[in-house]
Structure 1
Amino acid sequence: MKIVLDAGHGGHDPGAVANGLKEKDLTLCIVRHIGRLLREYEGVEVHYTRTDDRFIELSERAAMANRIGANFFLSVHINAGGGTGFESFIFNNPDTKTIAYQNVIHGEIVRAIGNVKDRGKKRANYAVLRETKMPAILTENLFIDNAGDAAKLKSDEFLSQIARGHAQGIVRAFGLKKKATTQPKDDGKLYRVQVGGFSDRKNAERLAEELKKKGYPTIIV
């Protein structure tokens, strides 16, 4: 399954700007995290319209997805205009699949981000929705010019919650299965992380934690 992730705006087009934030930076951060999460599932090819700070025309974003024969297109944005909350969009004249995907993905995002106003599932004549030949959804994740929303958007953990909601929505909508993970064979060794080998204890603790995640018994000395 080919999924195209589109980080809104970029390059000389920053998108909405307020409260020390730029939409183009937030969307790229969220999209990259969504991609990392989706790569944990079987049969998923993740493609991006951009992976850095560059400008791409709206029509070209849709054309990229069309060229690779994507099965799904997701465009991530941050809202502006004095409101608050989350909303999602599909094209004005959607097929039944797209409607079903929006229902599932929208619900998962709302659940993931918690105490945020649900502005609803909407339809619009946006270029990336109109010109893509596969089911496509555009999300507007809070309002950059609302002080309360902006405070949330400044939190890396909250951006991760947004990304997890998008990823989980796609997983549920398409019935994706997580890749099997294999634990490393326990060779009976206890791995010791020497604090003196690092600039500070935090670095040593970070390495120890990584080893533990991989299944290696570890202590810090």
Structure 2
Amino acid sequence: MKLYLDPGHGGNDPGAQGNGLSEKNITLDIAQRIRSILVSDYRNVDVRLSRSSDSSKSLQQRTNEANDWGADYFLSIHCNAFNGNARGYEDYIHSNLSDSSKTAGYRNVLHAEIIKVNQLSNRGKKKANFHVLRESTMSAMLSENGFIDNQQDAALMRTASWRQRVAQGHVNGLVKAFNLQRKEEGNGSDDQLFKVIAGSFKSKANAEQRVEALKKKGINSYVDSLTLSGELWFRVQAGAFSKRSNAENQLNQVKKAGIPDAYIISDS
């Protein structure tokens, strides 16, 4: 299954803004998490991001790239804005499509799975004449994950654990819609590592405090740095394992130590 995954906006187009947040950063983070889960956990999935950094890309470039690649599905990730009072989640397929179309069927599955986990009110399944829905030659959906100008929705967007849940909801929908199969233990390449991440911080001092807190609980970890959307982040890594089952055991220990938003990434 070839998924073209499109984090909305980017570069000189910040998208919606509110409460100190920019849509382009939220969408990129969620999309990268979706890709990480799919590539780490599922077989026969090829994921291409329209952008993997804070870069500009036109709508035409995005759909042309997906069409030329021969993607099986186009998934565009967005956040909403309106008047500061509106809240919730909604998603879109193209306005010309019937409710019995294959695209609508895929969307129904994704919608149900995303709503289960995203802690947002359900604004429903909608249709629109958006470029990415109209010009993509494969089935396509655009998800609007909360209102960035609403204080309650924005408070969720700020937390890594919420963005991870939203990503997992999208993955759960894709898994059901396209019958994706989990990788079996040991299916990864010899140099594939499953890393347990126990927090990401803009402040190195805060990351070091997390390391000390884990050490008191008997868990060794260290601070690693990475650049996301042009910003430097300090990530706390609490182990790297060649077997996912061992990483999951460590993840459980980290969560028991009081880090509920810890998660696993795969590097190969």
Q: TM-score range, shorter-chain basis?
A: 0.7 to 0.9
Alignment-derived partner of residue 193 in structure 1: none
Take 2:169 and 2:242, find their aligned partners in 1: how far apart are those partners? 23
- Partner-residue secondary structure (3-state), 1:101: helix
Q: Identity rate of aligned residues, in percent?
A: 41
Q: By how many angstroms is 1:60 displaced?
A: 1.1
Q: How many residues align?
A: 202
Alignment-derived partner of residue 46 in structure 2: 45
Of 114, 126, 132, 2:130 maps to 126
Whether 1:57 and 2:62 are equivalent positions in the alignment is: no
Q: Output aligned runs, 1:1-221, within 5 Å.
A: 1-39=1-39, 40-82=41-83, 83-94=86-97, 96-114=101-119, 116-182=120-186, 201=212, 202=214, 205-206=220-221, 209-210=238-239, 214=243, 215=246
Give the unaligned 5+ runs of structure 2: 188-207, 223-236, 251-268
Deviations 1:30-75 (A, max 9, x none): 0000001111211100101000011111111111100100000000
Answer with 121-130 or 105-114: which moved more. Answer: 105-114
Q: By how many angstroms is 1:94 displaced?
A: 2.2
Take 2:180 and 2:221, find their aligned partners in 1: how far apart are those partners? 31
Q: Report the CA distance shift for 1:10/1:117 in structure 2 as closer, same or farther (over 3 A).
A: same
Take 2:239 and 2:27, find their aligned partners in 1: how far apart are those partners? 28
Deviations 1:92-149 (A, max 9, x none): 12261101000000110000113x2100000000000000000000000000000111
Q: By how many angstroms is 1:209 displaced?
A: 4.7
Relative contact order (alpha carbons < 8 A, sep ≥ 6): 1 or 2 greater?
1
Take 1:211 and 1:68, find their aligned partners in 2: how far apart are those partners? 33
Give the unaligned 5+ runs of structure 1: 184-198
Alignment-derived partner of residue 234 in structure 2: none
Q: Report the CA distance shift for 1:180/1:12 in structure 2 as closer, same or farther (over 3 A).
A: same
By percentage of residues, which structure has more strand?
2
Take 1:170 and 1:141, find their aligned partners in 2: how far apart are those partners? 16
Alignment-derived partner of residue 194 in structure 1: none
Take 1:57 and 1:9, find their aligned partners in 2: how far apart are those partners? 9
Take 2:221 and 2:133, find their aligned partners in 1: how far apart are those partners? 42
Take 2:176 and 2:44, find their aligned partners in 1: how far apart are those partners? 15
Q: Report the CA distance shift for 1:139/1:209 in structure 2 as closer, same or farther (over 3 A).
A: same
- Partner-residue secondary structure (3-state), 1:205: coil
Amino acid at match of 2:131: A
Q: TM-score of the superposition, structure 1-length normalised?
A: 0.85
Amino acid at match of 1:15: G
Amino acid at match of 1:102: R
- Partner-residue secondary structure (3-state), 1:35: helix
Amino acid at match of 1:206: S
Amino acid at match of 1:71: D
Amino acid at match of 2:95: N
- Partner-residue secondary structure (3-state), 1:180: coil
- Partner-residue secondary structure (3-state), 1:42: coil
Amino acid at match of 2:155: A
